[in-house]
Amino acid sequence: MERLNRFKTGWFSLFLGMAAMLVTPLSTAQAADSDSFETAFDTVLGTELRAPRAYETPFEARIASLANAERGRIGVAALDLSSGQSLDILGNQPFPMASTSKIAIVATFLEGVDRRRFSLNDKYPLMVPVPSRKFDGPVAPVRAGTSLSALSLIELTLTRSDNQATDALLAAVGGPSVVNDWVRRAGISDWRIDRDIATLVRDDGAIDPATTIDPRDSATPLAMVQLLSGIYEGKWLSPESRAVLLGAMHRCVTGKRRIPALLPDEAQVAHKTGSLHNTSSDVGIIHTPDGRAMAVAIYVTGQGSRGQREARIASIARAIYDGYALQNPRNYRKTASR
Residue 295: pLDDT band (50, 70, 90) is: very high
Query: Has residue 76 got a pLDDT over 70?
Result: yes
Any idea what the Cα angle at residue 141 is, between residues 167 and 280, rounded to 5°?
A: 50
Q: What pLDDT sits at residue 40?
A: 35
DSSP 5-38: HT----HHHHHHHHHHHTTTTTGGGTTS-HHHHH
Residues 229 and 235: their CA atoms lie apart, in Å, by 9
Note the CATH number of domain 68-327: 3.40.710.10
Query: Has residue 114 got a pLDDT over 70?
Result: yes
Yes or no: say if 265 and 334 are a contact pair by the CB < 8 Å rule. Answer: no
Mean pLDDT score of the chain: 84
Residues 52 and 88: their CA atoms lie apart, in Å, by 14
Of the listed ranges 44-53, 153-162, 281-290, the least confidently predicted one is 44-53
Average pLDDT over residues 239-245: 98
pLDDT > 90 fraction of the chain, expressed in percent and rounded: 71
Please provide the distance, in angstroms rounded to a whole number, between the alpha carbons at the two ends of the chain. 19
Sequence-distant (6+) residues with CB within 8 A of 278 are 72, 208, 209, 210, 301, 302
Q: What pLDDT sits at residue 330?
A: 59
Query: Has residue 73 got a pLDDT over 90?
Result: yes
128 vs 211: which has the higher pLDDT: 128
Of the listed ranges 82-91, 179-188, 275-284, the least confidently predicted one is 82-91
Q: What SS3 class is residue 316? A: helix
pLDDT > 70 fraction of the chain, expressed in percent and rounded: 80
Q: What pLDDT sits at residue 8?
A: 33
Yes or no: say if 86 and 77 are a contact pair by the CB < 8 Å rule. Answer: yes
Of the listed ranges 62-71, 108-117, 125-134, the least confidently predicted one is 62-71
- Give the residues across from 95 on adjacent strands: 219
Question: What is the tens place of the pLDDT at every residue in 247-279?
Answer: 999 999 999 999 999 999 999 999 999 999 999
Question: What is the tens place of the pLDDT at every residue in 2-57?
Answer: 333 333 333 333 333 333 333 333 333 333 333 432 333 333 334 344 334 556 67
Q: What pLDDT sits at residue 185?
A: 97
On the CB side of 77, CA atoms within 13 Å amount to 23
Query: Has residue 85 got a pLDDT over 70?
Result: yes
Q: What is the pTM of this model?
A: 0.81
Average pLDDT over residues 88-108: 96
DSSP 209-278: TTT----TTEE-HHHHHHHHHHHHTTSSS-HHHHHHHHHHHHT--S-TTSTTTTSBTT-EEEEEEEEETT
Q: What pLDDT sits at residue 2?
A: 37
Of the listed ranges 13-22, 177-186, 205-214, the least confidently predicted one is 13-22
Average pLDDT over residues 310-315: 95
Q: What pLDDT sits at residue 47?
A: 39
125 vs 20: which has the higher pLDDT: 125
